[in-house]
Amino acid sequence: MNYTENRYTSHDKLSLYYREYGQGEQTIVCLPGLTRNSKDFQEIATHLASSYRVLCLDLRGRGKSDHDPNWKNYHPGTYVRDTWTLLDELGVESAIILGTSLGGLMAMIMAEQKPERIDAIILNDIGPSIDPVGYARILAYAGRNKPVTSWAEAAQQCRDTYGLAIPNMPMSFWNEYVHRNFSEDKNGLPVTDADPNIGEAMRNSVKITQWLVRLRKWGLLKKIAGVMIDPWDSFRAVSMPCLVIRGGLSDILSEDIIDEMELIKPELKRATIPNRGHVPLLDETESLQAIDSFLAGLPGASA
Protein backbone atom coordinates (compact mmCIF):
# COMPACT_ATOMS: atom_id res chain seq x y z
CA MET A 1 0.00 0.00 0.00
CA ASN A 2 1.55 3.30 -1.12
CA TYR A 3 -0.72 5.55 0.93
CA THR A 4 -1.83 6.02 4.51
CA GLU A 5 -5.46 5.91 5.61
CA ASN A 6 -6.64 8.74 7.84
CA ARG A 7 -9.76 10.23 9.36
CA TYR A 8 -10.92 13.62 10.56
CA THR A 9 -14.11 15.00 12.10
CA SER A 10 -16.47 17.42 10.37
CA HIS A 11 -18.08 20.42 12.05
CA ASP A 12 -21.22 18.31 12.60
CA LYS A 13 -19.30 15.34 14.05
CA LEU A 14 -19.17 12.99 11.06
CA SER A 15 -16.06 10.85 10.72
CA LEU A 16 -14.58 11.48 7.28
CA TYR A 17 -11.87 9.51 5.47
CA TYR A 18 -8.95 10.47 3.27
CA ARG A 19 -5.88 8.85 1.75
CA GLU A 20 -2.48 10.52 1.87
CA TYR A 21 0.27 9.86 -0.68
CA GLY A 22 3.80 11.28 -0.78
CA GLN A 23 5.53 13.79 1.44
CA GLY A 24 6.21 16.74 -0.83
CA GLU A 25 6.20 20.31 0.45
CA GLN A 26 3.34 21.31 -1.86
CA THR A 27 -0.10 19.73 -1.38
CA ILE A 28 -2.52 18.56 -4.06
CA VAL A 29 -6.09 17.84 -2.93
CA CYS A 30 -8.10 15.41 -5.09
CA LEU A 31 -11.88 15.80 -4.94
CA PRO A 32 -14.11 13.12 -6.55
CA GLY A 33 -17.28 13.13 -8.60
CA LEU A 34 -20.86 12.91 -7.39
CA THR A 35 -21.03 9.26 -6.33
CA ARG A 36 -17.29 8.57 -6.52
CA ASN A 37 -14.53 8.40 -3.91
CA SER A 38 -10.79 8.51 -3.23
CA LYS A 39 -10.13 5.25 -5.09
CA ASP A 40 -10.61 7.04 -8.42
CA PHE A 41 -7.31 8.87 -7.87
CA GLN A 42 -5.09 5.87 -7.15
CA GLU A 43 -3.11 6.10 -10.40
CA ILE A 44 -2.69 9.88 -10.61
CA ALA A 45 -1.92 10.18 -6.88
CA THR A 46 0.76 7.49 -7.14
CA HIS A 47 2.17 9.28 -10.19
CA LEU A 48 2.38 12.62 -8.33
CA ALA A 49 3.52 11.28 -4.97
CA SER A 50 7.25 11.50 -5.76
CA SER A 51 7.02 15.31 -5.83
CA TYR A 52 3.85 16.25 -3.94
CA ARG A 53 1.82 15.49 -0.88
CA VAL A 54 -1.47 14.22 -2.30
CA LEU A 55 -4.70 14.07 -0.29
CA CYS A 56 -7.58 12.07 -1.79
CA LEU A 57 -10.91 12.56 -0.04
CA ASP A 58 -14.01 10.48 0.47
CA LEU A 59 -16.74 13.13 0.70
CA ARG A 60 -19.44 12.52 3.29
CA GLY A 61 -21.70 9.69 2.18
CA ARG A 62 -19.02 8.08 0.02
CA GLY A 63 -16.42 5.37 0.48
CA LYS A 64 -15.24 5.02 4.07
CA SER A 65 -16.69 8.34 5.24
CA ASP A 66 -19.83 8.42 7.38
CA HIS A 67 -23.19 8.78 5.70
CA ASP A 68 -25.05 11.94 6.65
CA PRO A 69 -28.34 11.24 8.45
CA ASN A 70 -29.71 14.45 6.88
CA TRP A 71 -29.71 14.14 3.08
CA LYS A 72 -30.18 17.92 2.78
CA ASN A 73 -26.51 18.28 3.72
CA TYR A 74 -25.45 16.57 0.51
CA HIS A 75 -24.55 19.71 -1.45
CA PRO A 76 -21.34 21.48 -2.54
CA GLY A 77 -21.43 24.03 0.27
CA THR A 78 -21.16 21.28 2.88
CA TYR A 79 -18.49 19.38 0.97
CA VAL A 80 -16.38 22.52 0.61
CA ARG A 81 -16.72 23.25 4.32
CA ASP A 82 -15.55 19.71 5.09
CA THR A 83 -12.52 20.21 2.84
CA TRP A 84 -11.54 23.47 4.52
CA THR A 85 -11.88 21.68 7.87
CA LEU A 86 -9.33 19.07 6.79
CA LEU A 87 -6.89 21.62 5.38
CA ASP A 88 -7.13 23.66 8.58
CA GLU A 89 -6.61 20.58 10.73
CA LEU A 90 -3.51 19.60 8.75
CA GLY A 91 -2.16 23.16 8.73
CA VAL A 92 -2.17 23.34 4.93
CA GLU A 93 -1.87 27.04 4.15
CA SER A 94 -2.38 26.64 0.39
CA ALA A 95 -2.96 23.79 -2.05
CA ILE A 96 -3.57 22.81 -5.64
CA ILE A 97 -7.07 21.39 -6.14
CA LEU A 98 -7.70 18.62 -8.66
CA GLY A 99 -11.44 18.14 -8.99
CA THR A 100 -13.35 15.58 -11.02
CA SER A 101 -16.90 16.62 -12.02
CA LEU A 102 -18.52 17.67 -8.69
CA GLY A 103 -14.99 17.98 -7.30
CA GLY A 104 -14.23 20.54 -10.01
CA LEU A 105 -17.25 22.62 -9.01
CA MET A 106 -15.91 22.47 -5.46
CA ALA A 107 -12.51 23.64 -6.72
CA MET A 108 -14.08 26.73 -8.31
CA ILE A 109 -16.03 27.48 -5.14
CA MET A 110 -12.89 27.18 -3.01
CA ALA A 111 -10.95 29.40 -5.44
CA GLU A 112 -13.63 32.08 -5.10
CA GLN A 113 -13.98 31.77 -1.31
CA LYS A 114 -10.31 31.86 -0.31
CA PRO A 115 -8.14 32.60 -3.35
CA GLU A 116 -5.07 33.16 -1.20
CA ARG A 117 -5.17 29.49 -0.19
CA ILE A 118 -5.54 28.00 -3.68
CA ASP A 119 -2.38 27.83 -5.80
CA ALA A 120 -4.02 26.37 -8.91
CA ILE A 121 -7.02 24.29 -9.95
CA ILE A 122 -7.37 21.36 -12.34
CA LEU A 123 -10.91 20.69 -13.57
CA ASN A 124 -11.54 17.17 -14.83
CA ASP A 125 -14.38 17.27 -17.37
CA ILE A 126 -16.37 20.02 -15.70
CA GLY A 127 -16.99 23.71 -16.22
CA PRO A 128 -19.41 26.37 -14.99
CA SER A 129 -22.12 25.00 -17.33
CA ILE A 130 -23.25 21.41 -17.73
CA ASP A 131 -24.69 19.94 -20.91
CA PRO A 132 -28.34 19.08 -20.08
CA VAL A 133 -28.05 15.72 -21.88
CA GLY A 134 -25.30 14.53 -19.58
CA TYR A 135 -26.97 16.03 -16.54
CA ALA A 136 -30.17 14.10 -17.27
CA ARG A 137 -28.15 10.90 -17.67
CA ILE A 138 -26.55 11.33 -14.23
CA LEU A 139 -29.89 12.19 -12.62
CA ALA A 140 -31.34 8.98 -14.01
CA TYR A 141 -28.81 6.62 -12.38
CA ALA A 142 -27.39 8.40 -9.30
CA GLY A 143 -28.45 6.43 -6.23
CA ARG A 144 -30.75 4.17 -8.25
CA ASN A 145 -28.52 1.24 -9.17
CA LYS A 146 -30.09 -2.05 -8.15
CA PRO A 147 -28.43 -4.17 -5.43
CA VAL A 148 -26.21 -6.90 -6.81
CA THR A 149 -25.61 -10.44 -5.60
CA SER A 150 -22.12 -11.12 -6.99
CA TRP A 151 -18.95 -9.34 -8.08
CA ALA A 152 -19.59 -10.40 -11.67
CA GLU A 153 -23.01 -8.73 -11.55
CA ALA A 154 -21.48 -5.62 -9.99
CA ALA A 155 -18.84 -5.46 -12.73
CA GLN A 156 -21.52 -5.70 -15.41
CA GLN A 157 -23.48 -2.92 -13.72
CA CYS A 158 -20.38 -0.70 -13.84
CA ARG A 159 -19.93 -1.51 -17.51
CA ASP A 160 -23.56 -0.64 -18.23
CA THR A 161 -23.29 2.65 -16.32
CA TYR A 162 -19.88 3.88 -17.43
CA GLY A 163 -19.21 2.01 -20.66
CA LEU A 164 -20.06 4.99 -22.85
CA ALA A 165 -17.39 7.05 -21.08
CA ILE A 166 -14.74 4.31 -21.15
CA PRO A 167 -15.48 2.47 -24.41
CA ASN A 168 -14.04 -0.69 -25.87
CA MET A 169 -12.63 -2.04 -22.62
CA PRO A 170 -12.52 -5.81 -22.01
CA MET A 171 -14.46 -7.39 -19.17
CA SER A 172 -11.18 -7.90 -17.31
CA PHE A 173 -10.96 -4.09 -16.99
CA TRP A 174 -14.44 -3.88 -15.46
CA ASN A 175 -13.65 -6.73 -13.07
CA GLU A 176 -10.94 -4.47 -11.62
CA TYR A 177 -12.77 -1.17 -12.04
CA VAL A 178 -15.76 -2.40 -9.99
CA HIS A 179 -13.70 -2.12 -6.81
CA ARG A 180 -13.75 1.66 -7.22
CA ASN A 181 -17.54 1.61 -6.87
CA PHE A 182 -18.16 -1.20 -4.43
CA SER A 183 -16.80 -2.51 -1.16
CA GLU A 184 -17.23 -5.92 0.40
CA ASP A 185 -19.76 -6.54 3.16
CA LYS A 186 -19.31 -9.03 6.01
CA ASN A 187 -20.65 -11.81 3.77
CA GLY A 188 -18.20 -11.05 0.97
CA LEU A 189 -20.86 -9.52 -1.26
CA PRO A 190 -20.39 -6.21 -3.09
CA VAL A 191 -22.21 -3.15 -1.74
CA THR A 192 -22.19 0.29 -3.33
CA ASP A 193 -19.76 2.83 -1.88
CA ALA A 194 -22.20 5.75 -2.06
CA ASP A 195 -25.27 6.67 -0.02
CA PRO A 196 -28.35 6.43 -2.32
CA ASN A 197 -29.62 9.63 -0.74
CA ILE A 198 -26.92 11.55 -2.64
CA GLY A 199 -28.89 11.02 -5.85
CA GLU A 200 -32.15 11.93 -4.16
CA ALA A 201 -30.61 15.14 -2.83
CA MET A 202 -29.47 16.02 -6.34
CA ARG A 203 -32.90 15.39 -7.83
CA ASN A 204 -34.65 17.35 -5.07
CA SER A 205 -32.34 20.30 -5.64
CA VAL A 206 -33.40 20.83 -9.26
CA LYS A 207 -36.53 22.90 -8.54
CA ILE A 208 -34.82 24.81 -5.74
CA THR A 209 -31.94 25.66 -8.05
CA GLN A 210 -34.34 26.98 -10.66
CA TRP A 211 -35.81 29.41 -8.12
CA LEU A 212 -32.36 30.46 -6.92
CA VAL A 213 -31.33 31.20 -10.51
CA ARG A 214 -34.38 33.45 -10.89
CA LEU A 215 -33.51 35.29 -7.67
CA ARG A 216 -29.97 35.76 -8.91
CA LYS A 217 -31.19 37.15 -12.27
CA TRP A 218 -33.50 39.54 -10.42
CA GLY A 219 -30.54 40.79 -8.39
CA LEU A 220 -32.06 39.63 -5.10
CA LEU A 221 -29.57 36.92 -4.17
CA LYS A 222 -26.06 36.09 -5.35
CA LYS A 223 -24.84 33.58 -2.77
CA ILE A 224 -26.39 30.95 -0.55
CA ALA A 225 -24.47 29.29 2.32
CA GLY A 226 -21.33 31.05 1.09
CA VAL A 227 -21.57 29.58 -2.42
CA MET A 228 -22.25 31.51 -5.62
CA ILE A 229 -25.63 30.54 -7.12
CA ASP A 230 -24.22 30.85 -10.64
CA PRO A 231 -21.06 28.74 -11.13
CA TRP A 232 -19.96 31.25 -13.76
CA ASP A 233 -19.62 33.81 -10.96
CA SER A 234 -17.30 31.42 -9.15
CA PHE A 235 -15.26 30.86 -12.31
CA ARG A 236 -14.98 34.60 -13.00
CA ALA A 237 -13.34 34.91 -9.58
CA VAL A 238 -10.69 32.28 -10.39
CA SER A 239 -7.47 34.29 -10.27
CA MET A 240 -4.98 31.42 -10.13
CA PRO A 241 -3.73 29.13 -12.94
CA CYS A 242 -6.35 26.71 -14.23
CA LEU A 243 -6.22 23.59 -16.39
CA VAL A 244 -9.37 22.08 -17.90
CA ILE A 245 -9.27 18.44 -18.98
CA ARG A 246 -12.09 17.29 -21.25
CA GLY A 247 -13.03 13.82 -22.38
CA GLY A 248 -13.33 13.90 -26.16
CA LEU A 249 -16.64 12.00 -25.91
CA SER A 250 -17.98 13.98 -22.95
CA ASP A 251 -21.71 14.71 -22.72
CA ILE A 252 -21.11 17.03 -19.73
CA LEU A 253 -18.42 19.45 -20.89
CA SER A 254 -18.44 20.76 -24.46
CA GLU A 255 -15.69 22.55 -26.37
CA ASP A 256 -18.04 25.54 -26.61
CA ILE A 257 -18.16 25.83 -22.81
CA ILE A 258 -14.36 25.75 -22.62
CA ASP A 259 -14.24 28.44 -25.32
CA GLU A 260 -16.47 30.63 -23.11
CA MET A 261 -14.19 29.93 -20.15
CA GLU A 262 -11.19 30.96 -22.23
CA LEU A 263 -12.82 34.29 -23.09
CA ILE A 264 -13.03 35.00 -19.35
CA LYS A 265 -9.60 33.59 -18.60
CA PRO A 266 -7.38 33.78 -21.73
CA GLU A 267 -4.46 32.09 -19.98
CA LEU A 268 -6.59 28.99 -19.35
CA LYS A 269 -4.85 25.70 -20.17
CA ARG A 270 -6.89 22.96 -21.86
CA ALA A 271 -6.45 19.35 -22.88
CA THR A 272 -8.75 16.89 -24.63
CA ILE A 273 -8.42 13.20 -23.87
CA PRO A 274 -9.40 11.01 -26.85
CA ASN A 275 -11.76 8.05 -26.48
CA ARG A 276 -12.97 9.16 -23.07
CA GLY A 277 -16.33 10.57 -22.04
CA HIS A 278 -17.35 11.80 -18.62
CA VAL A 279 -14.86 11.42 -17.05
CA PRO A 280 -11.25 10.72 -18.05
CA LEU A 281 -9.61 8.33 -15.58
CA LEU A 282 -6.49 10.52 -15.34
CA ASP A 283 -4.25 7.52 -15.98
CA GLU A 284 -4.23 8.14 -19.74
CA THR A 285 -0.91 9.24 -21.26
CA GLU A 286 -2.56 12.45 -22.48
CA SER A 287 -3.95 13.23 -19.01
CA LEU A 288 -0.64 12.61 -17.29
CA GLN A 289 1.24 14.74 -19.81
CA ALA A 290 -1.24 17.62 -19.50
CA ILE A 291 -1.14 17.57 -15.69
CA ASP A 292 2.65 17.24 -15.52
CA SER A 293 3.13 20.12 -17.97
CA PHE A 294 0.66 22.33 -16.11
CA LEU A 295 2.22 21.66 -12.70
CA ALA A 296 5.74 22.21 -14.04
CA GLY A 297 4.71 25.68 -15.22
CA LEU A 298 3.40 26.86 -11.87
CA PRO A 299 5.40 29.34 -9.78
CA GLY A 300 7.54 27.46 -7.28
CA ALA A 301 6.77 24.11 -8.95
CA SER A 302 8.10 20.99 -7.25
CA ALA A 303 11.18 19.50 -8.86
Q: Can you give the pLDDT at residue 205?
A: 67
Instruction: Tell whether 107 is covered by a domain.
Output: yes
Instruction: Tell whether 285 is covered by a domain.
Output: yes
Closest CA to 194 of 267, 138, 126, 260: 138
Residues of the chain with pLDDT under 70: 1, 139-140, 142-144, 205-225, 228-229, 302-303
Instruction: Tell whether 169 is covered by a domain.
Output: no
Instruction: Tell whether 142 is covered by a domain.
Output: no
Q: What is the pLDDT of residues 135-188, one digit of tens each?
A: 778 766 766 678 899 999 999 999 999 999 999 999 999 999 999 999 988 888
Closest CA to 137 of 278, 281, 282: 278
**Distance, first Cα to last Cα, the chain:** 24
Q: What is the pLDDT of residues 43-69, one digit of tens each?
A: 999 999 999 999 999 999 999 999 999
Instruction: Tell whether 172 is covered by a domain.
Output: no
Q: Can you give the pLDDT at residue 151?
A: 95
Residues 201 and 75: beta-carbon distance below 8 Å:
yes
CA dist 201 → 12, 23, 97 (Å): 18, 36, 25
What CA–CA distance (Å, rounded) separates 62 from 195? Answer: 6
Please classify residue 9 by burial: count the beta carbons closer than 10 Å to its beta carbon, then call 0-12 exposed, 13-18 middle and 19+ buried.
middle
Instruction: Tell whether 301 is covered by a domain.
Output: no
Give the CATH number of the domain where residue 245 resides. 3.40.50.1820
Q: How many domains does the chain have?
A: 1
Single pTM value for the model:
0.93
Number of H helices, E strands in the chain: 10, 12
- Segments forming the whole domain that contains residue 75: 4-130+229-296
